[in-house]
A and B are shown apart, each in its own frame.
Chain A
Amino acid sequence: GAGVSQSPRYKVAKRGQDVALRCDPISGHVSLFWYQQALGQGPEFLTYFQNEAQLDKSGLPSDRFFAERPEGSVSTLKIQRTQQEDSAVYLCASSLPPTSGSRDTQYFGPGTRLTVL
Chain B
Amino acid sequence: QKEVEQDPGPLSVPEGAIVSLNCTYSNSAFQYFMWYRQYSRKGPELLMYTYSSGNKEDGRFTAQVDKSSKYISLFIRDSQPSDSATYLCANGGSQGNLIFGKGTKLSVKP
Contact surface of A with B, Cβ cutoff 8 Å? 4, 31, 33, 35, 40-45, 48, 55-56, 59, 91, 93, 97-98, 102-103, 105-111, 113
Contacts and interface: CB of A to CB of B under 8 A. Distances in A.
B8 A110 contact: no
Given A35-B97, A40-B8, 8 more contacts: A41-B103, A42-B6, A42-B102, A43-B88, A98-B94, A103-B93, A108-B43, A110-B41
Given A40-B8, A40-B102, A103-B92, A45 B43 contact: no
Contacts of A106: 46, 98
A45 B97 contact: yes
Query: Which 9 A-B pairs have CB atoms at the shortest separation, nearest pair first?
Result: A42-B100, A108-B43, A45-B97, A98-B95, A103-B32, A108-B44, A110-B43, A42-B102, A43-B100
